Amino acid sequence: MKQLLIVFAIIQLVTITAGYSQNIPLNWRSVAAGVWKVKIGQPQKFDLLRTANIHPRIETLRNLGERNFPLLKEECHAELQNGKIYLRFPLEKEEQLFGLGLNFKTINQRGRIMTLHVDHYNGIDNGRTHAPVPFYVSTKGYGVLVNSAEYITVYAGTGIRVNSKHPPKVYNRNTDKNWEAQPYSDAVEILVPANGTEVYVFAGNNTMEVVQRYNLYNGGGVLPPKWGLGFTQRVPTLSTEDDIRKEVADFKEHHFPLDFIGLEPGWQTKSYPCTFEWDTTRFSNPADFVREMKDSGLRLNLWLNPYLSPSSSLYQELKPVSGSHTVWNGLVPDFNVEKARKIYKSLFSKEHIDIGISGYKIDEVDGYDNWLWPDVATFPSGITAMQMRQTFGLQMQKMTSEWFKEKNTRTYGLVRASNAGASSFPYVIYNDYYNHRDFITALCNSGFIGVLWTPEVRSSATAEEWLRRMQSVCFSPMAMLNAWSDGTKPWSYPEVSKQVMEVATLRMQLLPYIYNCFAQYYFEGKPPVRAMNLEEGFSFSPKQFTAEINSVTNPYALATREDVKDQFMLGDYLLVAPMFAGDKKRKVVLPQGKWYNFYTGEYAGKGEIIEIEPGLDNIPLYVKDGGIVPMIPPVLHAPTPGETLPLELRHYGESKGSISLYDDDGETFNYKKGNYMRYSFSATKDSDGKWIGKEEIFNKNKMTQQYKNFSWKFMAGDKK
């Protein structure tokens, strides 16, 4: 047997080096219910899921149910050509494909060509983005993940093979209007520039179930600390402890919610590259300052980039375990080597974590090419520069989140690069690209690929834009004002400061609901923010590609597809339809079933596209028929352990409904050991047709009950 294997390995090696092509049989192996894996050729040592160190939730996946392999096996194909892997998966005519990275302009990726490459997003959905996750979800109920840390190229239904079993129709452009510049392609084809890779297939009865399986296989979604879901302000670079004290006092004076403050460059002695040590001219006693902030209910988050300054006392020690190239003259640590991890761990523990810093903003781990290490850089662990580029953000997320976990403390921070396997990481992606509409499309896309995204607010040309951006960010995974360069405050535009306050207050009131959305992410794999395409009953189908013959612009231009990319679901019940500066009206696509205005309870429509003119004051929000939204009174900080709050339960529509509301201490990992509780709220009608609300509490561990005194509000009225 051993000899046979050796012979086989030699044949493979000869094949690779000689440049022959070789078809590779695909032996799909079931690795969890509804999840299959295949090894093709010789998979590389450094891949995405291994870097993320995922812990598949096998039991939970089993509870989701067994499924049949969702693709036609005989139409899945792999071959090795000149040392590269060529993959092909079938595609039917009506299928739409979602995912393939954190895209900012498009939702349906069918018909696109993407070279997946970690980079700062630069305005084009071509694969270069902060989280170029090589995973796509099909409307046919399956997903494909290529677990490779190479720059892979995906032809998502563009190539047409001579021997295609389903060739497109041939048209004569002279006479036929149906001629298409991009005819139908029956396959997704993928080029992996390596002699091996792993591929996973996830099944599901619908797109949501596929995404659930993907997230659960990656360990389940993150459950942030409660404070992480409150409001956060990032203060200007070079702020001192007194500036921050003043900022805190300002927030108090304005009665504006605030849970954590972000420190930007200036807290360290040096940055770009960094020392990670406090500048004591700005922060005389960091430990005391962190404590003082904590005592007033505030946590601190530290900006950094991972590159070590030559003036750090650890420079010489780190040098042998860092890359061949520098970034801004700083060393690039190779965290695949234990020594590099140890150096950072002891420094970061001593300087930050042990004194109570709550988390990090991990900047500059994405791009641009001109300032990160080049693809010819080398690293002591043997990881290639390309693999390093694809995984550096993952490495930082994994390493730092483990430090907090060891202390049984949850963290929640920011990162600018991620990839497959990140679902359970307590990090939210952000960037400098500041297009409000595209920020919302990124929110939609984040839900397909197991990452979180914040449409951060920095500054605005007008008060209207400021308000519209603030309204959006309050319905995202991190309600953040990033004032690092402008020093803006929530109330910087007095014309709209009342409305800004209202939406931030609403965010705080909705915290039990939002926290529950994240609990669903952890327990069921359902992302908190979801593109409409993950919603059941969303039957809107975009137009396929059509060619527009237009000699003025481009005679072969492709008509844009109609993606629904400016509205999304927050959890099961809330549909969020942001407004953009300059717009008075907008269209909202309501999925099947009845939908109701969140603010008034009025009926809005069902399974139709409505046009609304909402005015400036509110961000349009709709609630699904039977939806129950639990809310707390306006608070300035997220609920803390031991605090007791009343809960208002708003029921919408004509159908009865129920919600299972998750709760725990909001700060530790004790929930992983079963230390959590649930409330069950249901709304039904009595024999007279009058609405009644019922509450049940499941608290077998006798946890301190945060929510007491329930009151019901039946938003559609007590119609008999």
For residue 685, report the phi and psi dihedrals to the nearest 5 degrees: -105, 145
Write the DSSP symbol of residue 618: -
Asked if residues 385 and 377 have their Cβ atoms less than 8 Å apart, the reply is: yes
Residues 220-239 that bind ligand GAL (CB under 6 A): 237
Asked if residues 306 and 362 have their Cβ atoms less than 8 Å apart, the reply is: yes
Helix (H) or strand (E) holding 512: helix 511-524
454 contributes a contact to ligand GAL by CB under 6 A: no
> Which C-beta is closer to ligand GAL: that of 482 or that of 533?
482
266 contributes a contact to ligand GAL by CB under 6 A: no
Q: Which amino acid is at 203?
A: A
For the bound state, the minimum distance from the C-beta of residue 271 to ligand GAL, rounded and expressed in Å, comes to 8
288 contributes a contact to ligand GAL by CB under 6 A: no
Half-sphere exposure of 676 (CA within 13 A, CB side): 22
For the bound state, the minimum distance from the C-beta of residue 484 to ligand GAL, rounded and expressed in Å, comes to 4
> Which C-beta is closer to ligand GAL: that of 364 or that of 663?
364
> Which C-beta is closer to ligand GAL: that of 158 or that of 240?
240
432 contributes a contact to ligand GAL by CB under 6 A: yes
For the bound state, the minimum distance from the C-beta of residue 621 to ligand GAL, rounded and expressed in Å, comes to 28
> Which C-beta is closer to ligand GAL: that of 448 or that of 484?
484
For the bound state, the minimum distance from the C-beta of residue 244 to ligand GAL, rounded and expressed in Å, comes to 16
528 contributes a contact to ligand GAL by CB under 6 A: no
> Which C-beta is closer to ligand GAL: that of 197 or that of 488?
488
Residue reference for tokens 């970061």: 348
> Which C-beta is closer to ligand GAL: that of 364 or that of 563?
364
> Which C-beta is closer to ligand GAL: that of 302 or that of 677?
302
For the bound state, the minimum distance from the C-beta of residue 505 to ligand GAL, rounded and expressed in Å, comes to 26
For the bound state, the minimum distance from the C-beta of residue 342 to ligand GAL, rounded and expressed in Å, comes to 27
- Tokens matching residue 248: 């805190």
CA distance 52 to 531: 25
Residues 245-264 that bind ligand GAL (CB under 6 A): 264
Residues 463-482 that bind ligand GAL (CB under 6 A): 482
For the bound state, the minimum distance from the C-beta of residue 482 to ligand GAL, rounded and expressed in Å, comes to 5
> Which C-beta is closer to ligand GAL: that of 198 or that of 364?
364
Q: Which amino acid is at 561?
A: R
CA distance 446 to 395: 19
For the bound state, the minimum distance from the C-beta of residue 416 to ligand GAL, rounded and expressed in Å, comes to 6
> Which C-beta is closer to ligand GAL: that of 97 or that of 235?
235
303 contributes a contact to ligand GAL by CB under 6 A: yes
Residue 326 DSSP SS3: strand
For the bound state, the minimum distance from the C-beta of residue 673 to ligand GAL, rounded and expressed in Å, comes to 36
Write the DSSP symbol of residue 307: P
Torsion of the alpha carbons at 113, 115, 118 and 123, rounded to the nearest 10: -40
3-state percent breakdown (helix, strand, coil) of the chain, nearest 5:
25, 25, 50
Among residues 289, 423, 306, 311, which one has the least CA distance to residue 361? Answer: 306
Give the number of other CB atoms < 10 A from CB of residue 673.
9
For the bound state, the minimum distance from the C-beta of residue 363 to ligand GAL, rounded and expressed in Å, comes to 5
Asked if residues 517 and 571 have their Cβ atoms less than 8 Å apart, the reply is: yes
CA distance 53 to 227: 26
> Which C-beta is closer to ligand GAL: that of 303 or that of 403?
303
* Cβ-proximal residue to ligand GAL, closest one: 484
Determine which residue in the list 484, 595, 679, 691 makes contact with ligand GAL, applying CB under 6 A: 484
Residues 541-580 that bind ligand GAL (CB under 6 A): none
- Centroid of chain to Cα 365: 16
- Centroid of chain to Cα 211: 12
> Which C-beta is closer to ligand GAL: that of 265 or that of 627?
265
265 contributes a contact to ligand GAL by CB under 6 A: yes
For the bound state, the minimum distance from the C-beta of residue 518 to ligand GAL, rounded and expressed in Å, comes to 24
> Which C-beta is closer to ligand GAL: that of 267 or that of 691?
267
In terms of Cβ atoms closer than 10 Å to its own Cβ (0-12, 13-18, 19+), residue 100 is buried
Total site size for ligand GAL, rule CB under 6 A: 9
CA distance 161 to 657: 51
CA distance 260 to 647: 24
CA distance 547 to 557: 6
363 contributes a contact to ligand GAL by CB under 6 A: yes
Asked if residues 264 and 279 have their Cβ atoms less than 8 Å apart, the reply is: no
For the bound state, the minimum distance from the C-beta of residue 460 to ligand GAL, rounded and expressed in Å, comes to 16
**Site residues, ligand GAL (CB under 6 A):** 237, 264-265, 303, 363-364, 432, 482, 484
